[in-house]
Amino acid sequence: MPTVEVGEVGDGDFLLDVREDDEWQAGHAEGALHIPISEFVARYGELTEAAPQDGRVHVICRSGGRSAQVTMYLVQQGIDAVNVDGGMQFWQALGRPVVTDGGQPGAVL
């Protein structure tokens, strides 16, 4: 499965967060698109509308398990997708910003 480290995700890269609503509300990467894995297939069109046509989709969750499932699905659909290894736990541990919807500092559940 295509995988990248948190440190390889650039500021302008497209990021898809597949964690559930409570996790997202506690804190997420600024600018990420949020589609919970539990709603992903039904909301797939939101991703195809938002994702860059020729760009890569970086998929993230808390630790990498759920995002791995979504990454495999996207690859099967012909989308250039990669799993972000270690997820939001590593994101926060590396000092990358975690924010709430209001822009305040957030936390990873």
**Catalytic residue annotation:** 61
Distance of CA 43 to the CA centre of its chain: 15
Please tell me whether residue 104 adopts helix, strand or coil conformation: coil
54 HSE (CA, 13 A, CB side)? 0
